Amino acid sequence: MRKKQHSTLMQVEFVCPKCGKKLAWALPTSEINCPACGTWVTDRNRRIENTLYLPLDSDQMVLFC
């Protein structure tokens, strides 16, 4: 089976590591400022809960826990 590159966009859930507030789903390269405690949440310090893969060529969403 041939694997297509760049056909799947990965988004991760950004959860503040300090106060646990769920901020947003975004690309791992994003940085999100927590409005509750002011912490900058990146892919390096976020609390990992879920990873979501969004295929670009369909509406299907696959959730990995």
| Interface with Zn ion (CB under 5 A) | 16, 18-19, 21, 34, 36-37, 39
Q: What is the nearest approach in angstroms of Zn ion to the Cβ of residue 34?
A: 3
Compute the distance between CA of residue 22 and CA of residue 4 in angstroms, rounded to an integer. 31
- CB contact at 8 A, 28 and 39: no
CB closer to Zn ion out of 8 and 33: 33
Q: What is the nearest approach in angstroms of Zn ion to the Cβ of residue 10?
A: 23
CB closer to Zn ion out of 45 and 50: 45
